[in-house]
Structure 1
Amino acid sequence: MTTSERAPGRGTAVVIGGGLAGMAAAWALRGFAERIVVVERDRYPEGAEFRAGVPQGRHAHLVLEAGHRLLEEMMPGIKQELTAAGAQQVAASDVRWLSSAGWLAEYQAQLKFLCSTRPLLDKLVLDRVRAHPAIEILEGTDAVGLLGSATTVTGVKVRERGSGRGSERDAERDSDRGSDRGSERGSERGEVREIPAELVVDAAGRSSSVPKWLTELGCRPVPEERVDAGVAYASRIFHRPAGSDLGNRAVYLQTKAPDGPRMGVLLPVEGDRWIVSLAGMRGAEPATGEAGFTKHLGMLRDPMLEEVLRGAEPAGEVRGFLPGPGVRRHYERSCPDGLVVVGDAASTFNPVYGQGVTVALFCARELRRTAKRHGGIGHATARAARRAVAAASKMPWMISCTEDARFPATTGAPSGTLVGLQHRFFDKVLAGSTRDPAVTAAFHEVMSLVAPPSLLLRPSVLGVVLRS
């Protein structure tokens, strides 16, 4: 029996990655781990600023209804703090949504979502986590490997990267510099140090090295699914013109497969600004720079965004982003004891569906539930958490990859009779949602991850859908 198995289950937990998923995971473990160490390669900026370690941070983000309910449950009062800092609450009925079937019907919605820049959301969550006495954050520190064996992970190897604050420029510079600080994180020479742990949580995102490190420990490769629609983003922030008719509303011009693989979204954010993200699937990617942004804007299915932005002053440069494929790693099937993987490190989705932040919060919820059920952070908790995380990401993954399958250039997408039936049924749902508020409301609940797709089979909804 290992030392970890003999431990009472309330020792040290190490979280790899100090982004939103990592902060939420660390927060979830409070009260169940005596010590929680977050290892973050960046040095955080002083304020709500963009940083290199979150390349998707410059693009449109929202917290779906299910996500902001959970965030408020986890951190009571955070919603008020976000709105006080300028985050915008947008009702589902205030989204001008052009689906593949047409404009969704207008109705009085109870559902709302929060819109802000990603740095504002990250900063307020970070402030909560930093204030907890049991949580220690190692900034400017790389996780460089796992401790343990093919059967049990017992800690993390780390190395400090260097000094300097966390702007994008500083973070990029730090990656090529040695350390000038000494602590458990490493010496002035940036030597590798070890942090023993009873539980290791990987929240390092899309670029996680944990699959490689597990192979080095002698583990079998983690089973995974991979779907790649080849999506690319171009985003820009604009000052919102005074007296704009759009007001506090959002716009979503959805793709239409197979001949309309371009989309555009406008969200109101703090500082009386809009963040506008344009995207295209493989073969229809926006070109780089201002010229590419303008050209892609003019190729959307509807001129609304182009017209709205005609009088808006840019508040920054055009920024591009290549998310890479959607990947779902099945750690619940193959994983050593003592390890849980959450957020994008476990499941990444095509960002056009806006699920990532909410699913990361789902992972934190399941981590806390299983720690509570098993009374600590021992191996039983890790095993149960892996299964729960996989279950929490199943529906969002199904929605994402089934829709990606509509585009001919998508690789790895599911196919067959069942997928064809799902497409035909969903097309009828969208058609019904263009004219019947009950269908529109049900559709919004499913897409906001508040309700499962089975809600669309409710008789009051299904009857309209089948007549569509």
Structure 2
Amino acid sequence: MTTSERAPGRGTAVVIGGGLAGMAAAWALRGFAERIVVVERDRYPEGVEFRAGVPQGRHAHLVLEAGHRLLEEMMPGIKQELMAAGAQRVAASDVKWLCSAGWLAEYPAQMAFLSCTRPLLDAFVLDRVRAHPSIEFLEGTDVVGLLGSASAVTGVKVRDRGPERGEVRDIPAELVVDAAGRSTSVPKWLAGLGCRPVPEERVDAGVAYASRLFHRPAGADLGERAAYLQTKAPDKARLGVLLPVEGDRWIVSLAGMRGAEPAAGEEGFDEHLRRLRDPLLHEMLRDAEPAGSVRGFLPGASVRRHYERGGPDGLVVVGDAASTFNPVYGQGVTVALFCARELRRSVKRHGGIGAAAARAARSAVAAASGIPWMMSGTEDARFDATTGAPSGALVGIQHRFFDKVLAASTRDTAVTAAFHEVMSLVAPPSLLFRPSVLGAVLRS
């Protein structure tokens, strides 16, 4: 019998990483763990500020329809709080969306996303999580290793950050949740415990970002509407998005796949803006005053780690530590919330944080990220310079069918609505095969 199987189903849970995925995971465990410890290497800012530990935080973020529905279910009232602080609810019909087939048809859409800067979202979630008596935070603290063996993780080793780092100390736990993001060291630490390598998939489109905040000009034609100019693979692998955020500002993120990356600095940003498929963003920004400098970001490859195929007892991996996606598809925040939902369902089903709950959570987290991963990887496969992408006849069939969906979405609002539901992660891609939708697609 392993250590985790002997441990009681309630006790200490440690969450590695205090970003959005970690905070959501800690919130999901309330009531099922007597003590929840969130170990965060940074120190949180006093207010709504960017922080170094979230390098992607300076770039455009949105919470898809499925994500903000779930966030509200987890933390009732938080959506209204965010909107009162300036977050914008943007209906899909309020987005000028240029897909590879042209401009999506306009109609009174039901789907919407929540748009704000990442620090605003994080700050409101943090306030909720901090207020719960069973959740504590160790800020300015590094996790430097795992406790346990190849069969079971039984805690973590931590050490204070800073010039006087102090001694390594142990935090025993019945459950360890890795929410450390893209830079997680857990696979390396598991190898040190004698675990077999975690199976993983890796797709790399070589995407690079450049983002900047702007003050929205008074009387701007599009007001609080957004714009999304997608690429037309494989020849023009550039895109741009403009989103309204708090403080009467726009955040503009420009991206390019490998070979079409935006150059550094203001000149690179402006050049990339001019080279987009349509001048819409360039025209919208003509009279807009910058509200900050240009910030670059190299997210790296998309990686999906299959802990459900044999991870040790006592460990669950969530968020970007489990699956990272090409950020251009806007899935990351919503999938992190999906992970928290599945973690809570698992501990609730098993009545605590024991080994059975961890195994169930690993499988559920993998299932929740499966469709977003398929959607992201299949689209990345369109670009010639992408490495590791799925290939073969089936991918070619998927591309041809999706091209027909996009073409129909520019003319038939029933198809546009179904497309928005799928892209909002509210419905699976099988919705596109519903007879009323499929008929319109095939007629196109």
* Cross-structure match for 1:358: 334
Equivalent residues of 1:258, 1:407 under 8 A apart: yes
Report the secondary structure of 2:316's partner residue. strand
Unaligned stretches of 5+ residues in structure 1: 163-176, 180-189
Q: 1:259 is aligned with what amino acid?
A: D
Q: Does 1:298 align with 2:274?
A: yes
Q: Report the Cα distance in structure 1 between the residues aligned to 2:404 and 2:164, rounded to whole angstroms.
A: 58
The 3-state SS of whatever aligns with 1:279 is strand
Structure 2's unaligned 5+ residue stretches are: none
Which residue of structure 2 lines up, in the alignment, with residue 30 of structure 1?
30
Deviation at 1:334, TM superposition (A): 2.4
Measure how far apart 1:178 and its partner are. 2.2
Alignment of 1:387-406 (within 5 A): 387-406=363-382
Aligned residue type for 2:8: P
User: Any conservation in 1 of the 2:3–2:152 contact (CA below 8 Å)?
Assistant: no
Letter in 1 for 2:164: G
**Which residue in 1 is equivalent to 2:81?**
81
Cα deviation, residue 111, structure 1? 1.2
Matched, 1:263 2:239: yes
Task: Report the equivalent of 2:250.
Answer: 274
Give the letter aligned to residue 61 of structure 2. H
1:150-197 superposed Cα distances (whole Å, 9 cap, x missing partner)? 0000000000113xxxxxxxxxxxxxx224xxxxxxxxxx21100000
In structure 2, the CA distance between the partners of 1:2 and 1:224, relative to structure 1 (3 Å rule), is closer
**Residue 346 of structure 2 aligns with which residue?**
370
Q: Deviations over 1:19-71 (max 9, x none)?
A: 00000000000000000000000000001100000000000000000000000
Structure 1 residue 235: deviation in Å? Answer: 0.2
Q: Give the deviation of 1:6 after TM superposition.
A: 2.5
Q: What's the secondary structure of 1:435's corresponding residue?
A: coil
Runs of at least 4 residues off by over 6 Å: none
C-alpha separation in 2, matches of 1:340 and 1:419: 31
d(CA) in 2 for partners of 1:123 and 1:243? 30
Q: Does 1:224 align with 2:200?
A: yes
Q: Residue 154 of structure 2 aligns with which residue?
A: 154
Which residue is 2:416 aligned to?
A: 440
1:140 aligns with 2:140: yes
Aligned counterpart, 2:187: 211
Query: What is aligned with 1:178?
Result: 164
**What is the identity, as a one-letter code, of the residue corresponding to 2:187?**
P
C-alpha distance in structure 1 between counterparts of 2:137 and 2:216, whole Å: 36
Whether the aligned pair in 2 keeps the contact of 1:42 and 1:140 (CA below 8 Å) is yes
Query: Separation in 2 of the partners of 1:62 and 1:261?
Result: 22
Q: 1:412 aligns with which of 374, 388, 409?
A: 388
Decide whether aligned partners of structure 1 residues 217 and 226 sit closer, same or farther in structure 2, where only a CA change above 3 A counts. Answer: same
The separation in 2 between residues aligned to 1:389 and 1:2, in whole angstroms, is 23
Contact map agreement 1:223 1:334 (CA 8 A) in 2: no
User: Could you tell me which residue of structure 2 aligns to residue 192 of structure 1?
Assistant: 168
TM-score (norm 2): 0.99
Q: Secondary structure at the match of 2:30?
A: coil
One-letter identity of the residue aligned with 2:192: E
Take 1:23 and 1:467, find their aligned partners in 2: how far apart are those partners? Answer: 47
Q: What is the TM-score with the length of structure 1 in the denominator? A: 0.94
Structure-2 residue corresponding to 1:61: 61
**Inter-partner Cα distance in structure 1 for 2:4 and 2:164:** 33
Cα offsets for 1:83-139 (capped at 9, x unmatched): 011000100110100000000000001111100000000000000000000001000
**Take 1:296 and 1:331, find their aligned partners in 2: how far apart are those partners?**
39
- 1:49 match: 49
Q: What corresponds to 1:431 in structure 2?
A: 407
Equivalence map 1:287-326=2 (5 Å): 287-326=263-302
Q: Which digits, 9 at most, give the CA deviation of each residue in 1:337-361, with x for residues without a partner?
A: 0000000000000000000000000
Partner-residue secondary structure (3-state), 1:27: helix
In structure 1, C-alpha distance between the alignment counterparts of 2:407 and 2:373, rounded to whole Å? 23
User: Residues of 2 paired with 1:405 and 1:420: CA distance?
Assistant: 10
Instruction: Give the Cα separation in 1 of the matches to 2:177 and 2:129.
Output: 16
Aligned-partner SS, 2:241: strand
Aligned match of 1:165: none
Give 1:144's aligned amino acid: V
SS across alignment from 1:361:
helix
**1:415 aligns to what SS in structure 2?**
coil
Matched letter for residue 55 of structure 1: P
- Is the CA contact (8 Å cut-off) linking 2:87 and 2:114 kept in structure 1? yes
Matched position secondary structure for 2:307: coil
Partners of 2:242 and 2:167 in 1: CA distance: 46
Partner-residue secondary structure (3-state), 2:276: coil
Residue type of the alignment partner of 1:123:
A
Note if contact 1:104-1:433 (Cα within 8 Å) is conserved in structure 2: yes
Aligned residues with identical type, % of pairs: 86
Aligned residues: 444
Equivalent residues of 2:55, 2:297 under 8 A apart = yes
Paired residue secondary structure (2:124): helix
Amino acid in the other structure paired with 1:272: D
3-state SS, counterpart of residue 121 of structure 2 = helix
Correspondence for 1:172: none
Asked if 1:130 is matched to 2:106, the reply is no
Q: By how many angstroms is 1:248 displaced?
A: 1.1
Q: Tell me, in whole angstroms, the C-alpha distance in 2 between the residues paired with 1:191 and 1:314.
A: 46
After superposition, the C-alpha distances for 1:411-467 in whole angstroms (9 at most, x for unaligned) are 001100000000000000000000011000000000000000000001111001011
Amino acid at match of 1:357: V
Name the aligned partner's letter for residue 20 of structure 1.
Answer: L
Mapped partners of 2:309, 2:233: distance in 1: 34
What amino acid sits opposite 1:10 in the alignment? R
The 3-state SS of whatever aligns with 1:242 is coil
Q: Secondary structure of the residue that 1:15 maps to in structure 2?
A: strand
In 2: Cα distance, 1:465 partner to 1:428 partner: 6
Q: Distance in 1 between matches of 2:280 and 2:237?
A: 17
- Aligned-pair distance for 1:260? 1.3
Structure 2 residue identity aligned to 1:464? A
Corresponding letter in the other structure for 1:44:
Y
How far apart, CA to CA, are the structure 2 residues paired with 1:416 and 1:20? Answer: 36
Q: In the TM superposition, what is the alpha-carbon distance from 1:3 to its structure 2 partner? A: 4.4
CA distance in 2, matches of 1:384, 1:2: 17
